[in-house]
Amino acid sequence: MEASKSQCGLKEQKEKAGPASITIPASPSMQKLGYGTGVNVYLMKRSPRGLSRSPWAVKKINSKCSKNQQNIYQTRLNEEAKILKSLKHPNIVGYRAFTEANDGSMCLAMEFGGEKSLNDLIEERNAARLGPFPAATISKVALSMARGLKYLHNDKKLLHGDIKSSNVVVKGDFETIKICDVGVSLPLDENLTVSDPTVHYIGTEPWKPKEALSDDGVITDKADMFSFGLTIWEMMTLSVPHLNLDGSTDDEDESFDEDDFDEEAYYAALGTRPALNMDELDSSYQQHPPPPPYKR
């Protein structure tokens, strides 16, 4: 009976998802853009009969997951499609369709927000040993993210719930910056607080605020803002929060060694603001004096 109800609900959502003419190709015929917990994201190019159409990013459940995991991730994908369809903002990836692929799986088609995530760009810059991103670039990313978060919190009463560099997509040379992956978003009440006892904050551990590390913490819009701050910190340090606790990353051949990882120090640091070495930042990062008072 429960399975029948679930199938009916999925059928209704498919019928509301969009035109029946939309066909999602099989995964091997699409370029893989990235992946997340239980899902893969692919680039779907759309240029039939020579017509130029904007590409889509297609999120599908990873077929290698167990049947039980697939059910969990499918439910989450259904919810993400529902939430994303209600959003419209230039700094949040847009909804395109929620439909069935050739292999029978449901998948979420989204606006193609960019070739790479901010995390991809951080890793590339780190590998090339280029140092922190320019202050102007960080300022542009911060402003774009802040606008998207303001829309989510104030206009839609939603907590994103998993802000981090891999959930920000960038097109070209930072031409556009968009927040993605609203699959674990939580409703906010009029006080911008998560008050629904049936939902819980998921997030990703290194970016979690202190209040999300315990079962009795009060979650508000500030949870996103804490993670937002750590995302900007990532651009200035090219590091994952709290993983390089001793700051010893000068060795070109150094890689993460699990045996040397101080687990106790890591967990003690979670939910705090990691240190920032201002000596590694150039003069463009320094705060400029305020302009002189306006005179009539």
Catalytic positions, written as ranges: 162
Residue 165, both tokens: 């560099």
Q: Is residue 223 classed exposed, middle or buried when 0-12, 13-18 and 19+ CB atoms within 10 A define those classes?
A: buried
The C-alpha atoms of residue 93 and residue 264 are separated, in whole angstroms, by 37
- Strand bridging mode 106-111 / 95-100: antiparallel
C-alpha separations of 232 from 82, 168, 181, 227, 243 in Å: 29, 11, 18, 9, 16
Rounded to whole angstroms, the Cα distance separating 134 from 235 reads: 9
β-strand partners of 57: 43, 110
Q: Work out the end-to-end distance of the chain between its first and last CA atoms, rounded to an integer number of angstroms.
A: 76
E strands, 161-252, in order:
168-171, 176-179, 186-187
